[in-house]
């Protein structure tokens, strides 16, 4: 009886010691996706296609607010060529839901920049799907929808 209590106490102590270490190394999914989203935005602002490309899955599909469907290669090329240029990307809200090795992030984003010389200064509702592959999260899908102010 006494040895059972000691074992239970020892296991409890180990859990209390290990949990903070595990938390600090990986954090929860929501924290991980928020951090990756921040990295993605930083890469877009700098047109850092190397960092940007590492965050996208090879089978990534994006849908711009104009309805254009793009692959990873096309999306990265838009940044590299300067067709897509950002002055600022302001993430004002984000909700992340995790479903095992999949996470869906829905956010409100204000952008300032140009696409093929035309202004993309507007607010957008953005949905991004992340999947954990080989231990790392990558974005597999993206869609942006322009927020139209209500008519008065």
Encode pLDDT of 54-93 as tens digits.
Answer: 999 999 999 999 999 999 999 999 999 999 999 999 999 9
**Residue 4 above 70 pLDDT?**
no
Beta-carbon count within 10 A of 5 CB: 9
The reported pLDDT for the residue numbered 120 is: 94
Q: What is the DSSP string of 93-128?
A: EEEEEEETTEEEEEEEEEEEEEETTEE--EEEEEEE
Q: Please state, in angstroms and rounded to a whole number, the distance separating the CA atoms of residues 43 and 97.
A: 23
Is residue 5, in this structure, part of any structural domain at all? Answer: no
The count of domains in the chain is 1
CATH (domain of 54): 3.10.450.50
The reported pLDDT for the residue numbered 1 is: 55
Is residue 13, in this structure, part of any structural domain at all? Answer: no
Is residue 10, in this structure, part of any structural domain at all? Answer: no
Cα 93–96–100 angle (5° rounding)? 175
Is residue 23, in this structure, part of any structural domain at all? Answer: no
**Pick the residue with more confidence: 102 or 11?**
102
Is residue 120, in this structure, part of any structural domain at all? Answer: yes
Lookup: tokens for 139:
């974005």
Q: Please state, in angstroms and rounded to a whole number, the distance separating the CA atoms of residues 126 and 90.
A: 12
**Pick the residue with more confidence: 4 or 42?**
42
* Residue keyed to tokens 């209590």: 5
Is residue 97, in this structure, part of any structural domain at all? Answer: yes
What are 5-49's pLDDT values in tens digits? 544 444 444 333 333 433 333 469 999 999 999 999 999 999 999
What mean pLDDT comes out for the span 110-137? 96
- pTM beyond 0.85: no
Is residue 3, in this structure, part of any structural domain at all? Answer: no
**Pick the residue with more confidence: 10 or 138?**
138
Closest C-alpha to 126, from 91, 101, 97: 91
Is residue 129, in this structure, part of any structural domain at all? Answer: yes
For residue 60, the enclosing domain spans: 28-146
């Amino acid at each position: 009886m006494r040895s059972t209590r000691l074992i239970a106490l020892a296991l409890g102590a180990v859990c209390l010691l290990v949990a903070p270490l595990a938390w600090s190394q990986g954090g929860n999914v929501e924290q991980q996706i928020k951090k990756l989203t921040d990295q993605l935005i930083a890469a877009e602002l700098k047109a850092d296609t190397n960092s940007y490309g590492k965050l996208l899955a090879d089978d990534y599909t994006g849908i711009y607010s104009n309805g254009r469907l793009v692959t990873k290669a096309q999306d990265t090329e838009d940044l590299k060529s300067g067709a897509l240029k950002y002055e600022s990307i302001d993430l004002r809200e984000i909700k992340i839901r995790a479903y095992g090795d999949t996470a869906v992030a829905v956010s409100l984003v204000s952008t300032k920049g140009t696409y093929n010389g035309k202004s993309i200064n507007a607010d957008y509702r953005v949905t991004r799907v992340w999947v954990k592959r080989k231990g790392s999260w990558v974005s597999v899908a993206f869609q942006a929808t322009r927020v139209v102010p209500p008519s008065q």
